[in-house]
Structure 1
Amino acid sequence: MACSYPDHKQDTDQDLESVPLVALNMSVRRKLGLYLNPRQTVAADWMTVAEEMDFTYLEIRNYEAFKDPTKKLLEDWQARSAEVSVGKLLSILTKLERTDIVEDLGPMIDEDVRKYYESLKKKKEEPCLPLQVPEVDSCAPRTPETLGLTTQDDPEGLPEKFDAFICYCKSDFGFVYEMIRELEQTQYKLKLCVFDRDVLPGSCVWTITSELIERRCKRMVVVISDEYLESEDCDFQTKFALSLSPGARNKRLIPVIYKQMKKPFPSILRFLTVCDYTRPCTQAWFWVRLAKALSLP
């Protein structure tokens, strides 16, 4: 699906199917909520949109508890698959005959798409070098990159804060999504920082990660698996977090095992108490224990 809004100002049409939903900033998401949050009798609202996104009846009913269900819906839809795009969202709105939304937000979406492509171009032209590990520099960043990092950041207000940063590799995302359902969408109401869902594209990955772990998140959940042991990103995140909390005095890191492993447990985390989902005898208490650990001050 290509951009086709009135007063379109881009030199060439961009394929919106290739633009991830994370490219849409807070202003667009808030306006979507203004259109979709009120229950409608003659036009499609957020519930109808959720059905088109293949959310189940029980999931949709749970979203009713949120003040801004559209915002939460977009976050979870975005977290479900890397293939969720701006184009798919517009296709759903068009299919549901909400052309009023598409036309009204078209210029704002065009601007977000333009910024998204500019950030990709800048990233390719100015590749950033990773921080040295294990010598981690936790000093304040020298650039304004730490402003507007996440989808809910307000550059003119306070930065978005989280209860926990989730350290995971791509192959374990199915469990991460289950963690989102169990800890964010239940009575615990915790706020997790999931990189692929919450972080805006374009900035240096290492700088963003350091800022989130050190200043934005109270704790870090490390999803341990055989694939985790081979991930350079996970290795950096774990070592950086450990450097901020020697000996884990503040229970900053919480290792989680959710499936059987063929490789040995990482020695760097051997002194920490593990939350083990693979043990049938403790599985019933798994989410309660993890939620309480993340809820500590």
Structure 2
Amino acid sequence: MKLAEDFRKLSNMACEDTQVDFEKIPLVALNMTVRKKLGLYLNPKHTVAADWSEVAEAMGFTYLEIQNYEGSRNPTRTILEDWQARNPEATVGKLLSILTEKDREDVVEDLRPLINEDVRKYCENLKKKAEPPLQVPEVDSCVPRTPERVGLTVDDDPEGVPELFDAFICYCQSDIAFVHEMIRELEQTEYKLKLCVFDRDVLPGSCVWTITSELIEKRCKRMVVVISDEYLDSDACDFQTKFALSLCPGARSKRLIPVIYKPMKKPFPSILRFLTICDYTRPCTQAWFWTRLGKALSLA
């Protein structure tokens, strides 16, 4: 009871002039320091205390999924990432409730100051984003006439409607030959889809992270992720994938579609494990590959 009362007080203190409900604070608010400490507590197998596997079960993961997580170097971090990606109800409050239900008050007590600080920072960032931007009066002709997020692509009209796409293609340079095949199969056939291929469609000169997020969130209905061993080593692909996942919790809008086109030596990314894959490597289903992908991208 004392622990619950302490957290109610923390909720009231987390943001200035704001009553904060931890049940409404998404898990993304917790930074790496908290996640690492959670791993230190939950990764070791215990005979008397609940470990990561019992927490994962309470989060809704199946027995088979939990067995697969046992091969991970940091299963606690992996289940937190997957839970956050697949479940819109993955909140700080829910995590604390699960730890309390599993009699891990020791973890909650130790991490309480860090969690409180993370929630405070998260609320401050939300407050800053909600504030209207400062309007600076135009004093001379040096003010840029074309903002950074206008005139991003080859066919953009700065004076008209921004160019829109059916799908953003997330790929690394070593997979460009398959991207060319995708263009032929999806743009130049009966599907008549419009794909956003960074090297072909995006104009040079702008901040790559800014324009990438703008394209994924506001210009493209979906995103195709070309998975390969090289993809796993790409920082740009990692950013694009996680950003797209954050826009569709639980994959409710079928926004992100993973594609495998060649055999892999490295493990499939765990953050995408819960999504249905379009697999080009299986000879028995290869004939249906482009039909399935084309239909998925044609959805309204």
Normalised TM-score (structure 1): 0.51
| Corresponding position of 2:79 | 73
Aligned 1:128-167 pairs, distance under 5 A: 131-132=149-150, 133-134=152-153, 136=203, 138-140=205-207, 161=235, 163=237, 165-166=240-241
Pick closer, same or farther for the CA change 1:191–1:57 going to 2, 3 Å. Answer: closer
| Corresponding position of 1:64 | 70
Is this contact kept in 2: 1:257–1:276, CA < 8 A? no
| Corresponding position of 2:45 | 39
| Corresponding position of 2:91 | 85
Pick closer, same or farther for the CA change 1:5–1:171 going to 2, 3 Å. Answer: closer
SS in 1 for 2:6: coil
Pick closer, same or farther for the CA change 1:63–1:122 going to 2, 3 Å. Answer: same
Pick closer, same or farther for the CA change 1:192–1:161 going to 2, 3 Å. Answer: farther
One-letter identity of the residue aligned with 1:131: R
Is this contact kept in 1: 2:27–2:90, CA < 8 A? yes
What is the percentage of aligned positions where both structures have the same residue? 43
* Number of equivalenced pairs: 192
SS in 2 for 1:188: coil
Is this contact kept in 1: 2:22–2:93, CA < 8 A? yes
SS in 2 for 1:4: helix
One-letter identity of the residue aligned with 1:51: E
Q: Distance in 2 between matches of 1:26 and 1:142?
A: 21
Q: Distance in 2 between matches of 1:93 and 1:113?
A: 18
- Write the deviation string for residues 78-130 of structure 1: whole angstroms up to 9, x where unpaired: 01122210000000001111011111101100111011110000001145987
| Corresponding position of 2:108 | 102
Is this contact kept in 1: 2:38–2:76, CA < 8 A? yes
- Write the deviation string for residues 197-248 of structure 1: whole angstroms up to 9, x where unpaired: xxxxxxxxxxxxxxxxxxxxxxxxxx9xxxxxxxxxxxxxxxxxxxxxxxxx
One-letter identity of the residue aligned with 2:115: I
Q: Distance in 1 between matches of 2:59 and 2:208?
A: 39
Report which stretch shifted further, 127-136 or 58-67. Answer: 127-136
Normalised TM-score (structure 2): 0.51
Pick closer, same or farther for the CA change 1:280–1:31 going to 2, 3 Å. Answer: same
Q: CA deviation at 1:54?
A: 1.1
Q: Distance in 1 between matches of 2:42 and 2:103?
A: 13
Pairing 1:170–2:248 present: yes
Is this contact kept in 1: 2:88–2:249, CA < 8 A? no
Pick closer, same or farther for the CA change 1:127–1:82 going to 2, 3 Å. Answer: farther
- Write the deviation string for residues 29-56 of structure 1: whole angstroms up to 9, x where unpaired: 0000000000010000000001101111
Q: Structure 2: any 5+ residue segments left out of the alignment?
A: 135-146, 157-202, 211-233, 291-300
One-letter identity of the residue aligned with 1:188: K
Aligned 1:181-220 pairs, distance under 5 A: 188-191=266-269
One-letter identity of the residue aligned with 1:90: L
| Corresponding position of 1:281 | 285
Pick closer, same or farther for the CA change 1:192–1:68 going to 2, 3 Å. Answer: closer
Q: Distance in 2 between matches of 1:72 and 1:125?
A: 34
| Corresponding position of 1:233 | none
Pick closer, same or farther for the CA change 1:75–1:100 going to 2, 3 Å. Answer: same
Q: Answer with 1 or 2: which has the greater Rg.
A: 2
Q: Distance in 2 between matches of 1:172 and 1:43?
A: 30
Q: CA deviation at 1:177?
A: 8.0
Q: Distance in 2 between matches of 1:32 and 1:15?
A: 21
Is this contact kept in 1: 2:85–2:249, CA < 8 A? no
Pick closer, same or farther for the CA change 1:65–1:14 going to 2, 3 Å. Answer: same
SS in 1 for 2:68: helix
| Corresponding position of 1:4 | 6
Q: CA deviation at 1:188?
A: 3.4
SS in 2 for 1:116: helix
SS in 2 for 1:82: coil
Q: CA deviation at 1:26?
A: 0.2
| Corresponding position of 1:125 | 131
One-letter identity of the residue aligned with 1:25: N
